[in-house]
């Protein structure tokens, strides 16, 4: 085999390796598309609640943010402490990121006043500009859970003696993208699922539209 053929073969081999390396790198680094949850065209609706500082918070205040949403109550002795300890790990991982917002809604607004929510938020050193604890009118909170975030009630008599059939409570953390689409729901008591939530947040940050 003459030198020119050897040169061509080596060149083609190197070209092939370069192509495979580029393809593999592009494939690995490409953001993983997350599904949109709910009926086609489903969007998170408008709202008006009160945050832990006693200030009104509306859809306009969270516009263009990736959001992690939960429903809980401050006197819960069941899953809430575990949920919020795990959620605080997600918060710490993205603390200071202007694109990420955390929204914790109470299901017991009769107990969870803005002052009560603020005391609870201080346990996690929650920056009210990034981790918002929300209270308000009970029906509005529940309608938002069911109609916008697609959260359903769960039955666990250990949560609180005040639990009633319409007392919405869920262990799920809901991921909402910048365009008000629901992109995932994760069991907040399961750290493996919480880790997946963190990975999915990174994926959403890479999405172009």
150-174 pLDDT, tens digit per residue, is 986 443 444 344 444 445 568 999 9
What pTM, to 2 d.p., does this model score?
Answer: 0.79
Superfamily of domain 48-206: Glutaredoxin (3.40.30.10)
DSSP for 38-75 reads SSTT------EEE-TTS-EEEHHHHTT-EEEEEEE-TT
User: What's the pLDDT score for residue 170?
Assistant: 82
User: What's the pLDDT score for residue 156?
Assistant: 43
Give ∠ CA 106-112-116 in degrees, rounded to 5.
120
Domain ranges (residues) in the chain: 1-29, 48-206
59-115 pLDDT, tens digit per residue, is 999 999 999 999 999 998 888 899 999 999 999 999 999 999 999 999 999 999 999
Tokens 């918070």 locate to 57
H or E element that contains 94 = helix 80-94
Say which residues have a Cβ less than 8 Å from residue 95's Cβ, sequence separation at least 6.
Answer: 127, 130
26-66 pLDDT, tens digit per residue, is 445 555 689 999 999 999 999 999 999 999 999 999 999 99
* 208 confidence band (pLDDT: 50, 70, 90): confident
Torsion angle defined by CA atoms of residues 61, 102, 197 and 74, in that order, rounded to the nearest 10 degrees: -140
127-145 pLDDT, tens digit per residue, is 999 999 999 999 999 899 9
Q: What is the mean pLDDT of residues 169-180?
A: 92
User: What's the pLDDT score for residue 200?
Assistant: 97
3-29 pLDDT, tens digit per residue, is 565 555 544 565 555 554 544 454 455
User: What's the pLDDT score for residue 203?
Assistant: 94
H or E element that contains 186 = strand 182-187
Short-list 54, 47, 38, CA closest to 71: 47
Write phi, then psi, for 57 (nearest 5 degrees).
-125, 130
User: What's the pLDDT score for residue 160?
Assistant: 44
């Amino acid at each position: 085999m003459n030198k020119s053929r050897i040169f061509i073969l080596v060149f083609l081999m190197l070209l092939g390796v370069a192509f495979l390396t580029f393809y593999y790198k592009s494939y690995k680094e490409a953001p993983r598309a997350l599904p949109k949850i709910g009926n086609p065209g489903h969007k998170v609706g408008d709202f008006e609640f009160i945050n832990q500082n006693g200030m009104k918070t509306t859809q306009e205040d969270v516009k263009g943010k990736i959001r992690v949403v939960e429903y809980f109550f401050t006197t819960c002795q069941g899953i809430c402490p575990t949920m919020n300890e795990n959620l605080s790990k997600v918060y710490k991982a993205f603390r200071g990121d202007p694109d990420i917002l955390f929204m914790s809604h109470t299901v017991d607004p009769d107990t969870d006043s803005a002052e009560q929510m603020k005391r609870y938020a201080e346990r996690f050193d929650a920056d009210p500009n990034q981790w918002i604890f929300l209270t308000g009118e009970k029906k509005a909170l529940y309608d938002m859970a069911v109609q916008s975030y697609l959260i359903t009630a769960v039955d666990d008599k250990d949560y609180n003696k005040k639990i009633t059939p319409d007392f919405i409570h869920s262990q799920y953390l809901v991921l909402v993208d910048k365009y008000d689409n629901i992109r995932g729901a994760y069991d907040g008591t399961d750290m493996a699922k919480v880790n997946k939530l963190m990975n999915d947040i990174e994926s959403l940050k890479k999405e172009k539209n």
